[in-house]
A and B are shown apart, each in its own frame.
Chain A
Amino acid sequence: MGLTWYLGVDVIAIVLATVLGAWWLLRHRAAGTRAQRLLEDRLRFETLLSGLFAQLVHVETGGLDAALEGALRQMVTFLGVDRGNLDEYVEGAPGIRVSWTAPGIEKLPSVLAVSEFVWTAETLRRGGIVRFSRAEELPEDAALDRRCYERLGTRSHLSIPLHAGGPMLGVLSFDSVSSQRDWPDDVTNRLLLLSEVFAAALERKRIELSLAERLRFQRLLSDLSARFSGALALDFDDEVHGALRSIVDFLGVDHATLLEFPRAGVPARSWTIGEATDAGHVPWLMLRLREGDVVHVSRLAELPDEAATDRRGCLALGVKSLAAMPLRAGGVVIGGLVFATGFAERGWPHELIEQLSLLGEVVANALAWTNAEREARRLRQELTHIGRVSAMGELTASLAHELNQPLTAILNNAQVAQEYLEADAPDLGELREILSDIVADDQRAADVIHRLRALLKKGALEYVPLNLNDVVDGVARLVRSDMVIRNVPMILDLTQDLPNVCGDRVQLQQVVLNMVLNGAEAMGEPNGRPHALVIRTSRAGAEAVGVAVEDSGTGIDAKDLDRLFEPLYTTKAEGLGMGLAIARTIVDAHGGRLRASNNAGGGATFQFTLPIAAERAR
């Protein structure tokens, strides 16, 4: 890592310089024992320093706190003091303290109020160090600090602010409790050197954590995008809940609510993780969201006076702090995202709010997109249905015929049966046979109705594994009479053992029906050429299957070939011009392709291919 390497070089240079200096001293000033002791002392410190440096640089981020604690322990032992503390500042949250306290000495309380150490905090903030052998040495305006030090049993103390070229990262401090001690300048200077090692470690931790944080955020964003882009299915609510859940986990909050404000014709909707926040509980917040404001409070006390109802509402819901993002789409506020904590107050640092805004954008886009897509899908389905109804309209005559056949047979049979019953000794065997014929014909009529209704129904899409041969067969049954009336011989050429596709049966039948009716219409009366409509199913390469409808009609004009699938484009006197456009939309939605071409020997072929359904692992 570049930064670590840089810091490493820096510190190694200092260590080298010091060691060289010590060597020089050793050579030239070894005469005095005091000097020698000093020298040894200094060498010990340098050794400790380079040892600590090595430990702190090479440890993984996860083990850094333990390494820091170990370093503090070594320092406390080396200095002969009682407490060593490393207080790390974290924006918007209580600091993190790593400390080492000598056995038998009272530990510092986990939280020290800044308000009790105003002078100390201010001095450190300005970059100065705080050191005293006795609390009395503290200046007059540090009276409060002094009392607090005394209360903690601190007799001598040294605090060094930690920087790494930026804002203060934390404070390194040492307390002497059992005895009083001095902080000579050379010791202080060495500790300043040491503080740089700690500062580097804290900086590294901060950078690595924020990097990890950013990665986590990236993952959250991509997770949300993936969820929403796949959320058009029926489980939209599940996906929204899943998305909210992952945001909640990311933020470490307790409640999250996604609100969609009511629009023309669409009621308000909301999804909640945790405690449901009723909009009525927080009227002020709702107003601010509607106006497009970001609202965040770390404590309920921060809510303004006009939000008294909201404060009561939050209290009732057990909310301790909250943040709310408006959701905008196309410049309009369409809803809001509200997050709340229920167990502890928490800060909403600027960076976090920025992340939340970004999340809000993703969610707003997704919401707007799904709404638009839902509406488009509804319209498409409506249109598809209309297309189906109009195609069926063309079949009215033949379907009447289809129904009339069994009805005729039933009526004939029933009237004969009545006559038989009037005889003195009715032939029961014959009557039984007649009745069973009536039942069979009734079933036949019901089948016609069933097929009709299946195609006319306005149901939700249902993607299921389908065999295209079955789809074609269903259509063939439906149009058989029509083909007889039109005097068009229909030939089925079905490839056996066709792999399944995944699709909606009704919609695919609609496509085939359209192709067949178009083909039959193009054929007109026989005129000497081969006269037949062929419906063919086949494999189309390794990954697709196809249906082709081949007519022996007049073929497609070159000028029509390009525009054939455009909506409202028709060459028929009575056509709406929607049939093929709808058919192509359906095939596209199934991941397939629909195309038309002229046959070499006259007539045209319409065909579509669909991908083979993936085998489900069971």
Chain B
Amino acid sequence: MMAGAARVFVVDDDASVRKSLGRVITSAGYTVELFASAREFLACPPPTGPCCLVLDVRMPGVTGLDLQKTLAGAVHRVPVVFVTGHGDISMSVTALKGGAVDFLTKPFDKKALLDAIARALAKDTRDLATEARIGNIQARAKLLTARESQVFALVVTGMLNKQIASELGVGEKTVKAHRARVMEKMRAGSVAELVRLADGVGIIVTAA
């Protein structure tokens, strides 16, 4: 991954800390965008491409933890590196449970910050790839008819054609034909592969 392609967002209400963070991150070759408050950050268009957020915990108005909660609802979860001048254990637990990559207590070494940023960006890159794959699978799954979707859901639970036919109240031949179309539309070579794809779509496995 090219560092230059990755973007790092910094949200800290303290101007001099914000500016110095910007310098450190820029010096590591990342593109930095600075925000004085959570609101300011949220007002910007959602990021595309690998990125991460360096976020101050304590800020007047919307706090860092509030922002983390808000972001958790988004399609793409931006990895968060928390920085705080005053950290306590419960606060860091909340942050890490909420999916934070790291929780740094000010003042921190440049290396600690850049390491955390690197990990966050790696995670984001991975997440983006996973998202892309899932998106792909979900696009294929959309091609399935309602009956094919039913068959798909039952096939991945390990049911035999006969069992599926009885379950759906159709002939075994019909099931066989649906199954072939599912394999084709999902571009799966084997049932094992189909099961892996089903993981990506998620919802289907529970179908009963």
Residue in chain A with minimal CB distance to B14: A405
- Stretch from A178-186, A413-421, A548-556 at the B interface: A413-421
Rounded to whole Å, the gap between the CB of B19 and the closest CB of chain A is: 7
Question: A406-B16, A441-B16, A485-B58 are known contacts. Are A412 and B86 too (CB-CB below 8 A)?
Answer: no
Bound complex: CA of A444 vs CA of B85, how far in Å? 15
Whether A409 contacts B27 in the complex (CB less than 8 A), given A397-B86, A400-B86, A484-B59, comes out as no
Which residues of A sit under 8 angstroms from B83, Cβ to Cβ? Answer: 408
Tell me if B16 and A407 are in contact (CB < 8 A).
no
Q: Which among B14, B21, B58 has the highest number of chain A CB atoms within 10 Å?
A: B14
* Contact, CB under 8 Å: A404 / B106: yes
Q: Are A400 and B20 in contact (CB under 8 A)?
A: no
Q: Is the CB of A437 within 8 A of B86?
A: no
Contact yes or no, B23 A416, CB < 8 A: yes
Q: Is the CB of B85 within 8 A of A401?
A: yes
Q: Are B109 and A409 in contact (CB under 8 A)?
A: no
A182 to B: closest C-beta gap in Å: 118
Chain B contacts for A386, CB-based, 8 A: none
State the Cβ distance, B27 to closest chain A Cβ, in Å. Answer: 5
Chain A CB within 8 A of B67 CB: no
Contact A489 B106 (CB under 8 A): no
Digitize B53-86: 1 where CB-to-A-CB distance is under 8 Å, 0 elsewhere: 0000011100100000000000000000001011
Classify chain B: how many residues form its interface, as a range. Answer: 20 to 34
The yes or no answer to B173 lying at the interface (CB within 8 A) is no
Chain A residues within 8 Å of B24, by CB: 412, 415-416
Q: Which of A405, A434, A440, A441 contacts B85 (CB 8 A)?
A: A405
Q: How far is the CB of A88 from chain B (nearest CB, A)?
A: 90
Complex: chain A residue closest to B20, CB-CB: A412
State which of A398, A406, A412 has its C-beta within 8 Å of the C-beta of B110: A412
A152 interface residue (CB < 8 Å to B): no
Q: A415-B109, A416-B110, A489-B60 are in contact. Are A409 and B19 (CB under 8 A)?
A: yes
State whether A409 and B59 are in contact (beta carbons under 8 Å apart), knowing that A401-B86, A404-B106 are contacts in the complex: no
Known: A416-B110, A484-B59, A485-B58. A408 touches B85 (CB 8 A): yes
User: Is A411's beta carbon under 8 Å from chain B?
Assistant: yes
Provided the pairs A401-B58, A441-B16, A489-B60 are in contact, do residues A412 and B21 lie with their beta carbons within 8 angstroms?
A: yes
Instruction: Let me know if B107 and A404 touch, CB within 8 A.
Output: yes
- Scan residues 172-206 of chain B and give those whose CB is less than 8 A from a CB of chain A: none
Q: Quick check: A416 and B27 within 8 Å, CB to CB?
A: yes
Count residues of chain A with CB under 8 A from any CB of chain B.
Answer: 29
- Residues of A near B63 (CB, < 8 A) are 487
Which one of A405, A434, A489 contacts B23 once the chains associate, using CB atoms below 8 Å? A434
Residues in B with CB closer than 8 Å to A419 are 27
- Report the minimum CB–CB distance from B8 to chain A (whole Å): 14
Q: Is the CB of B27 within 8 A of A407?
A: no
Tell me, in angstroms, the Cα distance from A420 to B162 when the chains sit together.
72
In the complex the two chains form, what is the Cα distance from A397 to B58 in whole Å?
12
Question: Are B20's CB and A416's CB within 8 A?
Answer: yes
Q: Which of B85, B86, B110 has the most CB of A within 10 A?
A: B85
Assembled-state Cα–Cα distance A402/B14 (Å): 10
Nearest A residue (CB) for B63: A487
B159: Cβ under 8 A from any A Cβ: no
Interface digits, B96-125 against A, CB 8 Å rule (1 contact, 0 not)?
A: 000000000011111000000000000000
1/0 contact trace for A153-180 toward B, CB 8 Å?
0000000000000000000000000000
Given contacts A416-B20, A437-B20, 7 further A-B contacts (CB under 8 A): A397-B86, A404-B86, A407-B107, A409-B16, A409-B19, A410-B20, A413-B20
Residues in B lying within 8 Å of A, measured CB to CB: 14, 16-17, 19-21, 23-24, 27, 58-60, 63, 83, 85-86, 106-110
| A residues neighboring B (CB under 8 Å) | 397-398, 400-402, 404-413, 415-416, 419-420, 434, 437, 440-441, 444, 481, 484-485, 487, 489
Instruction: Report 17 cross-chain contacts, Cβ distance below 8 Å, ordered by A residue.
Output: A401-B58, A401-B85, A401-B86, A402-B85, A405-B17, A407-B107, A408-B20, A409-B19, A412-B17, A412-B23, A416-B27, A419-B27, A420-B27, A437-B16, A441-B16, A481-B85, A489-B60
